C-alpha cells in the first residue's frame, strides 16, 4: 500500500462530505481514465489517499515512480455509508482496498457495536487502525459472509472488494437474508477482469516525450489529439 498526499491551491475548493467512506475519482499524469479511491483523511489543506499496489494499473504504475510534485485531477467526493441512527450493530468487511474506508468508519463510529474484518495477503498492518480482525488473504469472502453468525437485532452491513465476489454476496444478502438497501451497502471496488481501454494511439510515449521536452500538459495533449486525428 502506497500513501499519496495531495496538497496545493487546487484543493482550496475541496469540501468533504463528512461521510467516512467518501471517495474521489483520481486522474494521474499521462492518463485520461480515472480510478476511485477512498479519502483516508482530509485536514483542510491536505488530502490523503492510501493506494493498494497491484501488478499493473493506471495509478499503480504512476504511484511507484518519483511522482512527488506531479499534478493530478480529482473529482468532488461522494460517500454512501449511512446506517440508521437506531442500528443495533455495524459489520464492516473487505479486502485491502476496503481498508482505508473501514479505518475511517471505525474512527468515526457511533454508539452501535462495530465489528470489522479485513483480508490481507500481507498479514496485519500494525498501527493502521484499531478494532480490526485480520483474515488470511486467501479467505473466500463470499463463503465468509454466507456462514457468518450475525449479531442479534437490526444492524447495518458495509462491505467492499472484488466486483464478482460482491455480486454473489449481494444476491445472498438480498435474497437469503432479505435485507434492503437501508441495511446494507455493498460495493465492488475493483475487478479481476477489468482491462485498460485500448486506444488507437498510446498516450504514454507522447506524454513522456513531451515532459522531457519541457512541454505543459495542455501542449502534450494537443500533440496527442493531433496524433489521433492523423489516425
Is residue 194 scored above 60 in pLDDT?
Answer: no
Give long-range contacts, CB 8 A cutoff, 24+ apart: 52-56.
Answer: 52/1, 52/96, 52/97, 52/99, 53/1, 53/2
Cβ atoms within 10 Å of 112's Cβ, excluding its own: 17
pLDDT bracket for residue 24 (50, 70, 90): very high
pLDDT digits (tens, 9 = 90+) for 33-62: 889 999 999 999 999 999 988 766 778 888
* Strands (E) located in 43-190: 47-51, 73-74, 90-94, 114-120, 132-136, 156-162, 184-190
**Fold assignment, 2-78+195-222:** Elongation Factor Tu (Ef-tu); domain 3 (2.40.30)
Q: What is the pLDDT of residue 50?
A: 96
pLDDT bracket for residue 30 (50, 70, 90): confident
Cβ atoms within 10 Å of 93's Cβ, excluding its own: 25
Q: What is the pLDDT of residue 64?
A: 84
Alpha helices in the chain (DSSP H): 58-63, 99-107, 141-146, 163-171, 203-212, 217-230
Q: What is the pLDDT of residue 111?
A: 87
**Choice between 106 and 227, residue whose per-residue pLDDT is larger:** 106
pLDDT bracket for residue 217 (50, 70, 90): low
- Report domain extents, the chain: 2-78+195-222, 90-190
Most confident range (mean pLDDT) of 30-34, 154-158, 165-169 is 154-158
Instruction: Indicate the CATH number of 90-190 among 3.40.1710.10, 3.40.50.80, 3.30.470.20, 3.40.630.30.
Output: 3.40.50.80
DSSP secondary structure string, 5-24?
Answer: EE-SGGGTT------TT-EE
Kindly state the percentage of the chain with pLDDT values over 90: 65
Is residue 133 scored above 80 in pLDDT?
Answer: yes
Q: What is the pLDDT of residue 56?
A: 67
Amino acid at each position: 500500500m502506497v500513501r499519496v498526499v495531495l496538497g496545493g491551491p487546487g484543493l482550496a475548493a475541496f469540501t468533504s462530505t463528512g461521510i467516512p467512506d467518501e471517495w474521489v475519482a483520481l486522474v494521474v499524469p499521462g492518463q485520461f481514465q480515472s480510478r476511485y479511491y477512498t479519502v483516508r483523511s482530509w485536514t483542510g489543506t491536505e488530502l490523503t489517499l492510501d493506494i493498494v499496489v497491484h501488478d499493473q494499473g493506471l495509478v499503480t504504475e504512476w504511484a511507484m515512480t518519483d511522482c512527488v510534485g506531479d499534478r493530478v485531477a480529482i473529482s468532488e467526493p461522494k460517500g454512501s455509508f449511512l446506517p440508521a441512527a437506531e442500528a443495533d450493530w455495524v459489520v464492516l468487511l473487505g479486502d485491502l482496498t476496503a481498508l482505508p474506508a473501514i479505518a475511517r468508519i471505525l474512527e468515526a463510529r457511533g454508539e452501535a457495536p462495530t465489528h470489522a474484518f479485513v483480508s490481507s495477503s500481507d498479514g496485519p498492518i500494525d498501527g493502521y487502525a484499531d478494532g480490526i480482525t485480520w483474515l488470511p488473504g486467501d479467505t473466500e469472502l463470499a463463503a465468509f459472509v454466507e456462514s457468518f453468525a450475525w449479531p442479534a437485532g437490526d444492524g447495518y452491513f458495509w462491505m467492499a472488494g472484488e466486483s464478482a465476489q460482491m455480486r454473489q454476496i449481494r444476491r445472498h444478502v438480498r435474497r437469503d437474508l432479505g435485507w434492503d438497501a437501508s441495511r446494507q451497502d455493498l460495493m465492488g471496488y475493483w475487478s479481476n477482469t477489468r482491462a485498460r481501454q485500448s486506444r488507437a494511439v498510446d498516450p504514454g510515449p507522447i506524454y513522456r516525450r513531451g515532459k522531457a521536452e519541457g512541454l505543459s500538459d495542455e501542449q502534450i495533449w494537443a500533440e496527442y489529439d493531433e496524433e489521433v486525428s492523423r489516425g
